[in-house]
Amino acid sequence: MKKIGFIGLGIMGKPMALNLIKAGHNLTVYDIKQEPIKEVVAAGAKAGKSAKDVAAQSEIVITMLPNSPDVKKAVLGKDGVLEGAKPGLILIDMSSIAPLVSKEVAAEAQKKGVEMLDAPVSGGEPKAKDATLAIMVGGKKEIFEKVEDVLKAMGSSAVLVGDIGSGNVTKLANQVIVALNIAAMSEALVLATKSGVDPEKVFQAIKGGLAGSNVLNAKVPLVLDGNFKPGFRIELHIKDLANALDTAHEVGVPVPLTSGIMEIMQALKVDGRAGNDHGGIVQFYEKLAKVEVRRQK
């Protein structure tokens, strides 16, 4: 049993924290909203007054926050993690942020004797709930080995991919592939529907072949039901793709397909669909083709 602090109890963070409690860890939690704190406290956690307070009571602190500025504020800011941290504390940032920010935060943490891993996740809310997330980790091998059991309480896999920042580079690669898979799926199913072919039967016919994927299996049933409840919101995928584009341009990698899907998501945002699940990318194609991909009655 480890003394763990958890900061950020959103769509992903709350079920991840609950799984750590189920695994028998001693949890102190903090969020800017009170409602999720109450829920996690009811499951056995203790409420912290601030990120600083959480860090002061913990040997490991996990952050699960929306974007780079949120992580910097929670860790480096007033009443942040580093103000309460004792030397030897391990900070695991499981947010999806810019790799350069991970390196910046880790460098500041190091000055206080705090070791950091960047460990973003893939799998969305369903896999956060059933503790089967894929976790991509950047940092020192010896630090990773100290907390591997903690990560495995939240995910089915935790892979050390390289030095600090590597976890978020891997997550950006993941997000590019997922976005483009959903776009390809959307184009194909709109084509099938407009051509008069049942999209559900198309899915059944192709899912076992080379075109089959976890994305297809997860998203097609939701699209067929017209269910675009997140999941993983389009606005968050936009954030990840913005980080992917910035990182790609910094290192000199042209990413034309990523630029294209980013503009599709931006169009959906302008259309008031930023809060939809990213499976809602199909709505961009549906609007153009004037047809809906739905389960046939």
Residues labelled catalytic: 171
CA 70 to CA 51: how far, in whole Å? 12
Q: b/e string for 79-88 if b means 16 or more Cβ within 10 A?
A: ebbbbbbeee
Place of tokens 């004037």: 290
126 SS3 class: helix
CA 243 to CA 176: how far, in whole Å? 11
- The DSSP letter of residue 229 is -
Phi first, then psi, for residue 202 (nearest 5°) are -60, -45
Which residues does residue 135 pair with via DSSP β-bridges, in sequence order?
121, 158
